[in-house]
Amino acid sequence: MKAIQIEGVSKSYTEGVLALDEVSLELPENSFTCLLGPSGCGKSTLLNMIAGFIEPTTGRILVDGHEVTQAGADRGVVFQEYALFPWRTAIENVEFGPMIQGLPRPERRAVARRYLALVGLEEHEDKYPRELSGGMKQRVAIARVLANHPSVLLMDEPFGALDAQTREVMQEELLRIWEQDKKTVVFVTHSISESIFLADRIVVMATRPGTIKEIVDVAMPHPRDRSSAAFVALEREIKRLVREEVAKLGVT
């Protein structure tokens, strides 16, 4: 079954810039897809359209068979900037979705506690976002999204603001969580190694206008060894594809 169908989607902004040009893509249920490309290839635009934050100029997007017209609880979003509510403690952030659904207080507390434990933050439930490190904030954000039981998980460079070590730990954590709580994941990144480490499928995007350049299926079993020959070979191959696009942008 196809969880997400993207049908001939284009996006042009008022200044006449074509951010995306006739992109079509089908993502199977519970698949893990990375949208990869240099900045300006429209990967975040595409993600924001699946999320329902912006409307496509032409074409349409279906999620579980329904056309996307606005943001909704079926599509959870994890942002690079975490987007935690600073006036809510960690657990209150995770409770937000269940609260919106009208779950009574003791029940939503229990749900939130379960998901905070899933991301390993049960000790920090009463802390405010300002008191948490970047990695911890992103864990809270992931727990907040999962507590809402979306069918699709959209992640917009979620680990982009983290240091290299934390980033790798978070990638492993994400896979562990995904194994436990399977969802269709769309993950935007410009890190080639990150995309190979995580995805079943890497959609390499071309720039100006944004289109799909190539779709690479990654068949390696998890956990993937970043220094294995297959990993390195694939990395080199994708780097070549991305380089061509960066070169097209001229000055870098």
**Rule CB under 8 A: which residues touch another protein?**
51-53, 70-73, 75-77, 79, 81, 83-89, 96-97, 99-101, 128-131, 144-145, 148, 154
* Minimum gap (Å) between residue 88 Cβ and another protein: 8
Closer of 18 and 83 to another protein (Cβ): 83
* Minimum gap (Å) between residue 51 Cβ and another protein: 6
* Minimum gap (Å) between residue 123 Cβ and another protein: 17
* Minimum gap (Å) between residue 216 Cβ and another protein: 28
Q: How far is CA 170 from the centre of its chain?
A: 13
35 and 188 Cβ atoms separated by less than 8 Å = yes
Closer of 6 and 77 to another protein (Cβ): 77
Closer of 72 and 209 to another protein (Cβ): 72
Q: Is the Cα torsion angle 85, 112, 198, 32 positive or negative in sign?
A: negative
Burial track 3-35 (b if 16+ CB lie within 10 A, e otherwise): bbbbbebbbeeeeeebbbbebebebeeebbbbb
Closer of 94 and 192 to another protein (Cβ): 94
Closer of 99 and 232 to another protein (Cβ): 99
* Minimum gap (Å) between residue 98 Cβ and another protein: 9
